[in-house]
Chains A and B, each alone.
Chain A
Amino acid sequence: MEQTLKETKRQNPKKLLGVNTEDAKVALSYFTVAFVSLLLGGILGLLQGLERADLIQLPSWLNYYQVLTAHGLLLLVVFTATFTIGYQFANLSHSFGGLLPKVRKLAWIGFGLMVFGVALVTVMIILNEASVLYTFYPPLAAHPLFYVGLVFVVVGIWACCFGVFINYRHWRKNHRGQVTPLLAYFAMGVFVLWFFASIGVTIEVLTLIPWSMGLVETTNVMVARTLFWWFGHTLVNIWYLVATSAWYVIVPKIIGGRHFNEKLIRLVVILIVVLNIPGGFHHQIIDPAISTSIKFLHVFMSLSIAVPSLMTAFAMFFVFERTGRKLGGKGLLGWLKKLPWGDVRFLAPMIAMISFIPGGAGGIVNTSNQLNQVVHNTMWVVGHFHVTVGMSVVLTFFGICYWLIPYLSKRQLTPKMNKIGVIQTIVWTVGMTIMAGSMHIAGLFGDPRRTSDTSYGGHEVAASWISYELIFGIGATILLVGVLIQVYAVFNMMFFAPKGETEFPVAEPEDNAAPVPLWTERWGLWIVLLLAVVAMAYVVPIVDMILNAPPGSPPIRTW
């Protein structure tokens, strides 16, 4: 008996202990920062929407570009990063039966560094010293402390990366001949991508600090933009990989099914990790200084991400159909009715997945050279990433909250809270469809993004955008309602919901599933392939940009 207890302790301590409270604190702290950022970012988003719709006039001490910069950074960087880290550490803790103490310490160090960095960045934006938009590339120059703050954020993320790598290696050494649990595998993919993505932006920011301080006169704008998108585009796919982890592993369990073939799932992770970074070039498709033939070759690099995406789409709908039929669904589409549409843990990620269809299609438009000429720097782009991030990713994150937060805080998801979640999901979907839909259309008519006043002296073309801009405002208002409901739900489940046990829903493989090959665990090889792909993609344009560099740009402050 004692032997069995010992074995259970060693192999699966969470069975004895439930959630590890120390690890839960880490995850919940990250979630707290995430949802405070969501609230602030959401309010700023509404202000922008209303200003754009000409319904309000922002005061002189808080201008449109400050609001735009803060909205972008708080939501695209802070919210997504902190949510991802909290969720991934919770997954690791669950998969590995608790984090190693030193890894937990690294997670806390990362937390401290990130909070400090974000505070520095936010203060600089509020002081109107950093209205450089969330992409912060030159020639717009912020106060040096803004960039220093970003360095702290990146170093904080690195601390978390190393924590994950250490824990992963430790588990593998102690579980010879076994593949890691699927959620841990996803976490490894996410943090490997994060580490290599952030190298580009780190080099960029480290060159911008002396430039913004006046120690260096000029900077190479093209190189900086390229390094930014090395990071920026990869960040998009980091969110996507995080969302995919929930789609593949969590959602099948919630609907009462099994997950898809694990070898394919792991292949998707490997492909996303290896192929990802060079996709950044499609953000620069209109930039000068990159030759047309290189841009053309990069279309292949960008579109290659469609391969794992489509694999995911087919795999997920296969799982839905198989489960629906097992539950008694008949006919061509009868299985759809058998899915638990009333369960927010399913509804939110399901809508997220569906929205990835128009999101992905829009992405293909952006990646295609000729089509991009039409939509570049218009509201179309804003609409696109509100569909992809704001729906596909964020709704998945929201769906995760409804089981993960009660699980971590040892509380229950009550039927009432589930209903609130369903309402929130509907509100969010309606708001985002209205807002992002009208943004797409306005963009096609030429409405520019990142511009506070687009009346252009009452020109008739500009006048045709006004009705769509009013719809942005309506959409943004509905979305803020969605934010308020979500923030309420999160903090309610964290502190006030009734005590109890909540399941951590991890899907099992099919009974007759083939064993997972160990070669999928060769992270060293995947990383070298990632580096080789990056080298293939970046050497030509960057050498060209440096050897044929223009004089460079001094720091410019337009405000």
Chain B
Amino acid sequence: MKQAIYGLILFTFLALPPVANLLESIMIMHMHMQMPLLVFAGFLIARFFQLKFPQFFERWNANGVPGMLLFLIIWLYWMVPRAMDEALTSPFMELFKFFSLTFLAGIALRDSWKKLGNIEFSIMYIFFTLKFIIMGYLYLAIEDQICNNYLIIEQKTLGWGSLAMAVCFVIFGFYWHFTDQSEYQKVDL
């Protein structure tokens, strides 16, 4: 339950106008910091809902796949440049961004995290790695301004940032795949 309170504090902090304005003033901070932090706030808050409504999650997200799909749809929606633009220009969309990323994506992610099997998890992992690579390439390759609110240099920065994240994902993927963690686990002789 403590976690849920921390999550709520984080959510409130992110919603403070000066904090939101600062993070949204830089494109990469908007996408790579504010949005993941909102999801993380929801991830922490989820504990409250999991304890309050265990049956709901059991019924609707038994194997974790529906929750993950919900997370995926919401996350991908906010990757669309136009959606980011709208969040900056329309207060209603801004409200929807805070709500959807925290209370739909974050909670769904938390509930699915442990339920997903290895294969589903690997698919998600590869999907996100590819998403970072493709997005990075797109943002770097496109010469036009794709967001009304951000300059082209911010677009390029976001491209490099996405590629850097992709590199981190790839390194971790290789580490996880090629190191045998059981080598370090206790063996019963």
Contact = CB atoms under 8 A, between A and B. Distances in A.
Contacts of A528: 168, 171-172, 175
Contacts of A178: 186
A524 B171 CA distance: 9
Given A176-B184, A176-B187, A535 B153 contact: no
Which DSSP category, helix, strand, loop or mixed, fits chain A's interface? helix
Contacts of B186: 176-178
A524 to B, nearest CB: 4
Which DSSP category, helix, strand, loop or mixed, fits chain B's interface? helix
Given A293-B22, A539-B28, A548-B153, A518 B161 contact: no
Contact of B153 (A294, A297, A521, A544): A544
23 contacts: A172-B183, A173-B184, A176-B184, A293-B22, A524-B175, A524-B176, A525-B175, A528-B168, A528-B175, A531-B164, A531-B167, A531-B171, A532-B168, A535-B168, A539-B160, A539-B161, A540-B26, A540-B28, A540-B29, A543-B157, A543-B160, A544-B157, A547-B156
Interface in B60-91: none
Given A293-B25, A540-B28, A543-B153, A535 B185 contact: no
A293 B161 CA distance: 17
B156 A543 contact: yes
B165 interface: yes
B187 A536 contact: no
Given A173-B183, A528-B172, A531-B168, A297 B160 contact: no
Nearest to B188: A177
Given A531-B167, A539-B164, A548-B153, A518 B184 contact: yes
B32 interface: yes
B169 to A, nearest CB: 8
A297 B21 CA distance: 12
B108 to A, nearest CB: 23
**Nearest 5 A-B pairs (CB), nearest first?**
A177-B186, A535-B164, A524-B175, A528-B172, A543-B157
B118 interface: no
Interface string A520-548: 01001101100110011001100110011
Contact of A293 (B26, B153, B171, B179): B26
B160 A296 contact: no
Contacts of A525: 172, 175
Interface string B148-160: 0000010011001
A273 B161 CA distance: 21
A11 to B, nearest CB: 15
B9 to A, nearest CB: 16
Interface centre among A178, A294, A531 (most CB of B within 10 A): A531
B1 interface: no
Interface residues of A, number: 25
Contacts of A172: 183-184
A296 B22 contact: yes
B33 interface: yes
Interface of A: 172-173, 176-178, 293-294, 296-297, 518, 521, 524-525, 527-528, 531-532, 535-536, 539-540, 543-544, 547-548
A177 B164 contact: no
A70 B168 CA distance: 38
A176 B187 CA distance: 7
A518 B22 CA distance: 39
Nearest to A175: B184
Contact of A524 (B153, B156, B172): B172
Contacts of A524: 172, 175-176, 179
Given A173-B183, A176-B184, A296-B22, A547 B172 contact: no
Interface string B7-37: 0000000000000001001101100110000
B28 to A, nearest CB: 6
Given A524-B176, A539-B157, 11 more contacts: A293-B26, A518-B185, A527-B171, A528-B172, A535-B165, A535-B167, A536-B33, A539-B28, A540-B28, A540-B157, A543-B160
Contacts of B26: 293-294, 540
B39 to A, nearest CB: 15
A177 B22 contact: no
Contacts of B28: 539-540
A545 to B, nearest CB: 11
Interface centre among A293, A294, A531, A539 (most CB of B within 10 A): A539
B185 A532 contact: no
A527 B175 CA distance: 10
A177 B184 contact: yes
A177 to B, nearest CB: 3
A543 B158 CA distance: 10
Contacts of B175: 524-525, 528
Contacts of B185: 176-177, 518
A417 B138 CA distance: 67
Contacts of A539: 28, 157, 160-161, 164
Contacts of A297: 22, 29
B153 A547 contact: yes
A293 B26 CA distance: 9
Interface centre among A172, A294, A536 (most CB of B within 10 A): A536
Contacts of B176: 524
Nearest to A534: B164
Nearest to A535: B164
Interface centre among A532, A540, A544, A547 (most CB of B within 10 A): A540
A294 B26 CA distance: 9
Nearest to A294: B26
B161 A535 contact: yes
